[in-house]
């Protein structure tokens, strides 16, 4: 079935669309509380919805765009929230393509201001998008994190999550889980475990199945993006 991904401002989502998004969310997470979902969604600024030919949402990704400063320099941050695709449609890359196109639009709207992607990962599939999109990101298995990048990561994580963030491990851990993957989605196939980046993610975030999340950072710039991602990022 053909799918189409469309960016939309979070405030423009209809009640029916939000209900469908929660249905997808509750099928993917053990801790599917509607009040938690609604509160988290209300904090976001944008959403990308993945729809089939009948206009039924089969996936979505939420994000929050915000401005901050670091060392006296302004910068902007795209903080990724939930990204969910109905397993029947795994393999479609339309959601990822629309996400990077939207990031490019955001970058062009303020070309002189650095743009960073703050991503928290409770699953290895999400973590692997960093390598698919970018040359450099943190943390990664094949390169130590530069001190200035680690300092910025710690700053953004502390700013947003406070005491839930452990700077020694780079992991978020909440007293009450904010969403644990279902056992089926938390399962890591043996073939994936043998991949270096997946093995690294599992070592860095061993309690991912309990809802812990690895905090990651990536600069979104044409110089840092891989060729396909760069083409989408620069498309108009």
Query: Residue 93 belongs to a domain with what CATH number?
Result: 3.40.630.30
pLDDT tens track of the chain, all 236 residues?
689 999 999 999 999 999 999 999 999 888 778 998 999 999 999 999 999 999 999 999 999 999 999 999 999 999 999 899 998 898 889 999 999 999 999 999 999 999 999 999 999 989 999 999 999 999 999 999 999 999 999 999 999 999 999 999 999 998 877 778 888 888 999 999 999 999 999 999 999 999 999 999 999 999 999 999 999 999 97
What tokens were used for 188? 């890591």
Domain region containing 47: 4-234
What's the structural domain count of the chain? 1
Prediction pTM value: 0.94
Q: Give the pLDDT of residue 73.
A: 94
């Amino acid at each position: 079935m053909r799918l189409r991904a469309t960016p939309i401002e979070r405030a423009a989502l209809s009640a029916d669309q939000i209900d469908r998004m929660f249905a997808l969310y509750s099928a993917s997470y053990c801790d599917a509380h509607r009040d938690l979902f609604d509160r988290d969604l209300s904090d976001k600024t944008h959403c990308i919805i993945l729809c089939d030919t009948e206009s039924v949402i089969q996936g979505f990704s939420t994000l929050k765009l915000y401005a901050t400063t670091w060392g006296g320099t302004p910068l902007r941050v795209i903080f990724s929230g939930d990204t969910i695709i109905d397993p029947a449609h795994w393999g479609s890359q339309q959601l990822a393509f629309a996400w990077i196109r939207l990031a490019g639009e955001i970058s062009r709207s303020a070309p002189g201001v650095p743009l960073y992607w703050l991503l928290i990962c409770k699953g290895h599939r999400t973590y692997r998008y960093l390598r698919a999109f970018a040359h450099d990101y943190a943390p990664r298995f094949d390169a130590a994190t530069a001190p200035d990048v680690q300092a910025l990561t710690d700053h953004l994580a502390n700013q947003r999550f406070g005491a839930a963030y452990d700077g020694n491990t780079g992991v978020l851990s909440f007293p009450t889980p904010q969403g644990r993957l279902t056992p089926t989605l938390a399962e890591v196939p043996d073939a994936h475990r043998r991949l270096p980046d997946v093995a690294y993610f599992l070592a860095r975030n061993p309690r991912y199945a309990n809802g812990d999340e690895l905090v990651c950072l990536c600069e979104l710039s044409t110089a840092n993006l891989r060729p396909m991602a760069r083409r989408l990022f620069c498309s108009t």
